[in-house]
Amino acid sequence: MNLVEVKNVYKQYKNGVTALSDINLSIPKGSFVFVIGSTASGKSTLIKLLYRQEKPTRGEVYVGGINVAKLRNRKVYKLRRKIGIVFQDYKLLPQMTVFENVAFALEIYGLRKSEVRKKVMTALEKVGLKEKFRSYPDQLSGGEQQRVSIARAIVNDPKILICDEPTGNLDPNTSLEIMEIIDSINKDGTTVIMATHDKDIVNKYRKRVIAINKGILTSDKENGGYI
């Protein structure tokens, strides 16, 4: 079963720049996919289409059976329930503790406090930060902050984890630690789609690699490396 289907997708911005041209893509359940390309290649635009930050100018995008392109703004939450998103800059709330940052993602579901606590502590354990649940973001290293971001993304057991340059601000050793966590989440059954510039990580993990150049999908290889 394909969790993601991208069909004949074009994306042109209001300034006239064409970011994507005739992209066709299928991603089965349980996959791990790297999306690579230089700056302004279109890879970030593709990622944003998947979580409905952007809409295609033409074509169809299906994520978890939802036609994202036709999703009304007030219905976007239905899509976001199916996915977790990890950003390069963490996007943690500085006035909240680690626990509160992760729990924040659950508040809209109206869960009991005991259930929220269980889910949050399970997510923090998966990323190796259970003992830091009372800390604030400014008390953590960059790598630890990214771990919190990952915990927040997986706390509701999403079908898909979308990572947009998750190691972009981290040193090589910390990047590998973050990748080990993301890889283990994939091995637990979550589909992972990760945009990255990190050649070492792509070459080390040998997953499916999709390359985009000037808005065109130029390569799609299983067990691929950085081109």
Write out 26-69 in H/E/C secondary structure.
EEECCCEEEEECCCCCCHHHHHHHHCCCCCCCEEEEEECCEEHH
In terms of DSSP H, where are the helices of the chain? 43-50, 76-80, 98-103, 113-126, 142-154, 172-187, 199-205
Tens digits of pLDDT across the chain (227 residues)? 789 999 999 999 999 889 999 999 999 999 999 999 988 899 999 999 999 999 999 999 999 989 998 888 888 888 888 899 999 999 999 999 999 999 988 877 778 899 999 999 999 999 999 999 999 999 999 999 999 999 999 999 999 999 999 998 899 999 999 999 999 999 999 999 999 989 999 999 999 999 999 999 999 999 877 76
Query: What domains can you pick out in the chain, each with its CATH number?
Result: 1-82+158-227 (3.40.50.300), 94-157 (no CATH)
- Residues 166 and 119: their CA atoms lie apart, in Å, by 23
**Alpha-carbon distance values, 29 to 2, 25, 26, 33 (Å):** 6, 13, 10, 11
CA 115 to chain centre: 25
